[in-house]
Amino acid sequence: MSVVDLAVTSRRELNIQLHALAPNTNQTHWRVENPNGQHSLAVGLDAPVTVEIAGHAGYYCAGMNKQATVVVEGNAGVGVAENMISGMVHVKGDASQAAGATAHGGLLVIDGDASARCGISMKGVNIVVKGSIGPMSAFMAQSGTLIVLGDAGDALGDSIYEARLFVRGSVKSLGTDCVEKTLREEHKEELRELLNAAGLGDAINVDEFKRYGSSRKLYNFHVDNAAAY
């Protein structure tokens, strides 16, 4: 294991070391000590490595991630896993606003709660939040899946496209063009697969979830819907 102590080594030096890794590197396990909420930790990775951050991370941790597994052993600030392409990001605490924003792929798991705009403009990422999410989550979500075991705040899925939303708890309100849909067997299977990937196994009854998605009324301009745009 490669250990980097941010009390001694700068964040820039850490990221330079991680960016220099070759796809076939044998330095596949990294541990970052004393992160103390620093921003932009483990950003832009493009190698099949595991990076453990031993504490809280600041803004944009694991942004633009590709291939890597990044584990935050604490809370994460704004924009964790922002624009992620592939790999996995696991936050063992809570996440601030815009978790998984614009992410194209991979899996983001948040053990605690996520604040406002979780999954905003998501483009293919899978997000599992074991707690609750704040308002305006999945705003303009284009594709991918957001699973919430707790509750959802105001305006869930506002202006949503084709992303799939599953919430086990209550939803304070739905955003424009977002509606509840039938939970069919293929959706239950998708839930089981992603919950297993998030380490929940068969502990969760997928029948307890409700599914939400686009009513497709805003895809093309119609004067009767002008007030909703």
User: What digits encode the pLDDT tens for the residues 53-104?
Assistant: 999 999 999 999 999 999 999 999 999 999 999 999 999 999 999 999 999 9
User: Which residues span the domain enclosing 26?
Assistant: 2-228
Q: How confident is the model at residue 223 (pLDDT cuts 50, 70, 90)?
A: low
The pLDDT value given to residue 193: 96
**Which is more confidently placed, 224 or 212?**
212
User: What CATH number is attached to the domain comprising 51?
Assistant: 2.160.20.60
Burial class (CB in 10 A: 0-12, 13-18, 19+), 39: middle
What torsion do the CA atoms of 66, 140, 187, 126 make, to the nearest 10 degrees?
A: 20
pLDDT (0 to 100) of residue 30: 98
Cβ(18)–Cβ(49) under 8 Å?
yes
Taking 3-state DSSP, the helix, strand and coil percentages for the chain, each rounded to the nearest 5, stand at: 15, 30, 60
Return d(Cα 36, Cα 223) in angstroms, integer. 52
Which whole number is the average pLDDT over 97-119?
98
pTM tops 0.85, yes or no: yes
Q: In percent, how much of the chain has pLDDT > 70?
A: 96
Structural domains of the chain, count: 1
pLDDT 10s digits, 2-20: 999 999 999 999 999 999 9
How confident is the model at residue 202, as a pLDDT? 82
For 69, phi then psi, to 5°, come to -110, 120
User: pLDDT tens, 31-51?
Assistant: 999 999 999 999 999 999 999
Amino acid at site 140: M
